[in-house]
Structure 1
Amino acid sequence: MTRTFSFATRLGASGEVRQRVWENDFGDGYVQSGGTGINTRSQEWSHQAVGSLDAGQEVCQIRDFLDEHEGYRSFLWTPPGGVAGRYKVNGYKLDPQGAGLFKISFTMKQVFTPY
């Protein structure tokens, strides 16, 4: 069963849409190009959350969710203004903020799998 990432991360999460294309430059200014594969558009989103790593706290739950997926298992997530899709996170960064708080930073990359 595929799990869903439903945690609140900071407002201001940044997304980037990428297009997969090929290009041949023949010189004289003539360039031939086209899409590569059946999923030519993918998204990448950067996230941050701040909180305690104490058991049951949201930042701790986010870290545990990411650890559970081990960088290679996909999960469901709906980007702002988008539709649900499969994403992976390969690693994250923990920064101590003082007073027992930590900032967790990670990037979700959209992936495609056959159904």
Structure 2
Amino acid sequence: MIKTFPWQIDMGASADKQYRVKKTQFGDGYTQHSSTGINNTTKNWSGTKTGALDTVIKPIEAFIDEHAGVLPFYWTDPHGNTKQYTCAGASIPQRKGDYWQITLNFEQFNNT
């Protein structure tokens, strides 16, 4: 069963949209472009979540550890779209006292 990432990330998330395109260069200077597959668009996200270490950061870190960068999970992006993503790591700097911030990079999981 695929789990759901239940936390909302902080304001300021960033999306990176990419199209998978195959380019063929011919000897006469002509280049042909074609899409790769029927789902050739991916939108990856990066964002942060800030909060107390024990109640906010550690549960998120445990969720990411459980999925180990390879198991997909559902996440609803800031635009309201729920899709499958993976997260291959996190950065966790301390902000002040027990106030920490976790930075996550979600990669859209296309299994089709």
CA RMSD of aligned residues (A): 1.6
* TM-score w.r.t. length of structure 2: 0.89
Give 1:112 shift: 1.7
- 1:80 maps to which of 68, 78, 81: 78
Structure 2, gaps ≥5 residues long: none
Partner amino acid, structure 2, of 1:95: P
2:67 corresponds to 1:69: yes
What secondary structure sits across from 1:91 in the alignment?
strand
Deviations 1:43-72 (A, max 9, x none): 110010111212xx1222211111111111
Partner amino acid, structure 2, of 1:9: I
Identity fraction in percent: 34
2:45 corresponds to 1:41: no
The whole-number CA distance in structure 1 between the counterparts of 2:61 and 2:9 is 12
Deviating above 4 A after TM superposition, structure 1's stretches of 4 or more consecutive aligned residues are: none
* TM-score w.r.t. length of structure 1: 0.87
Structure 1, gaps ≥5 residues long: none
What secondary structure sits across from 2:88 in the alignment?
coil
